[in-house]
Chain A
C-alpha cells in the first residue's frame, strides 16, 4: 500500500515568516494530494489539495507544489500568523488515502 513520509515533525517560526512542510509518497498510482489542518480536539480540515495533473496551486497565503517524477509534494505558508499554529497532515490517495505522521507548526507572535 501507499507510504507517506512527512518532514519536519515540528516546526517553529516567527510571525510573518514562511513555513514549508515536505512529503514524499511511494505509490506512483496516487493522483490526489490533500493537506489538512487539525486544531486541538477537532477533526482534520482540508486546507488545500492538488491533483496529479497540476504542478502547483495557490490559495491566498497557502500554496502546494507537486513533483510527480520525484514523488514529493510540499506545503508553503507565507506571512504566517499565530492562528496558523496547528498540526498539519499531508496525504496521498488512489482509492484509499494514507497520511503522513503530521507536523506541529508553532507561530510565535
Chain B
C-alpha cells in the first residue's frame, strides 16, 4: 500500500524558475491538501481540493497554482519561484470532510530551496 507519495523529495531551483511538486495518493480519497512548513509557523495551508476539478485557497495561496484533473493527483506549481518559497512542502489527503472519514494523512514532504 503506497499511500501518499511526493516527488521530488529534494529540489534546488533558481529564483524566477517554475517548479512543480507532485503528489499522488492510492486511496481514492476525495480531499487533498498542500501545506508548507516553516520554522516558527507550523504547517500553513496553501490550497486544498474537495474533489477532482474543485480547488480552494488556504491561508497562503499567493505565488502557487494547483490543479486536480484526476482524483489521485494534486500537483503544486510555483510559477516564478522566490526565496521566500524556500520551505518544506507536505501533501495530504483525507477520505471526506464530514464527521467521519476525515482523518488527514501526510506524505513525507518535499524540501525545496530557492537560490
Contact = CB atoms under 8 A, between A and B. Distances in A.
B74 interface: no
Contacts of B44: 99
Nearest to B35: A99
A52 B99 CA distance: 8
Contact of A1 (B43, B59, B97, B109): B59
A48 to B, nearest CB: 11
Contacts of A89: 42-43
Interface in A42-70: 42-46, 49, 51-53
Q: Which of A36, A44, A46, A101 has the most CB of B within 10 A?
A: A44
Q: Which of A32, A36, A93 has the most CB of B within 10 A?
A: A32
Interface residues of B, number: 24
B15 interface: no
B103 A98 contact: no
A17 B97 CA distance: 36
Contact of B99 (A1, A6, A32, A97): A32
B108 interface: yes
B102 A46 contact: no
A31 B97 CA distance: 10
Interface in B56-97: 56, 58-59, 90, 97
A95 B48 CA distance: 9
Contacts of A6: 42
Contacts of A53: 99
